[in-house]
Each structure stands twice: as C-alpha cells, then as structure tokens.
Amino acid sequence: ANALSTNMEYTDPDQILHEISIQNHDYFKIDKQQKDQVYWPVNDSPVLYGHGFHWPDGKARLQIVEDGILFERKHNTDNLTNTFVAFLEKEQLV
C-alpha cells in the first residue's frame, strides 16, 4: 500500500483487521483474530438462518447444477485496470 502512495503504518495484523471492521460494515465487530471458531454473523450463533432465509417468503433459492462449466472466466477489457494490474505485477506487489 505504501508503494501506491497510501501511508499505512500498521504494526500488526490486529490493527489492520480493526481498520477493516471500521471501514466495511460487513466486518462489524470483527476486530480480533481468534484461534477458535468464528461464526458469522458475529452474534456467536453457529446458525445463520434459523427462521427462514433472507427472501420475502423465507425460502432458500436452490438450483440444480448440470454437468459442464460452472463459471466462465471473464476477461477484463478495461485498459486502466489492465495497466494497473500490469504495474502491480511488474513491481511484484501481487
């Protein structure tokens, strides 16, 4: 990050994780590393959906997967992104 002109002066991974938990609401209260199990959401429940899924009818959305390719790799045609990625690879940052 410092090579990209973003001054990040963290001294340990816990500080980085704390910053992420402040900036990204999906990581709310995830502010320490634990060696035991961590459940999501962060209310210590091992069950995510106990009273239905996050749909108006509460039902899960499942699909039958056929044989064949599951995911197709998308090729980025954005020149700015491709140039930036090439720079990161050249500088061995990724």
pTM, two decimals, is 0.33
pLDDT tens string 45-74: 667 778 888 889 999 988 887 887 777 778
Q: Does residue 21 belong to any structural domain of this protein?
A: yes
Which range of residues forms the domain containing residue 83? Answer: 13-91
The mean pLDDT of 2-27, rounded to a whole number, is 76
Specify the number of domains making up the chain: 1
pLDDT at 75: 81
Residues 45, 42, 20, CA angle at the centre, nearest 5°? 160
CB half-sphere exposure, 76, CA atoms < 13 A = 9
Q: Does residue 19 belong to any structural domain of this protein?
A: yes
Q: Which of 25, 29, 56, 57 is nearest to 44 (CA)?
A: 29
Q: Is the pLDDT of residue 27 over 90?
A: no
Q: Does residue 3 belong to any structural domain of this protein?
A: no
Question: CB 35: neighbour CB atoms within 10 A?
Answer: 5
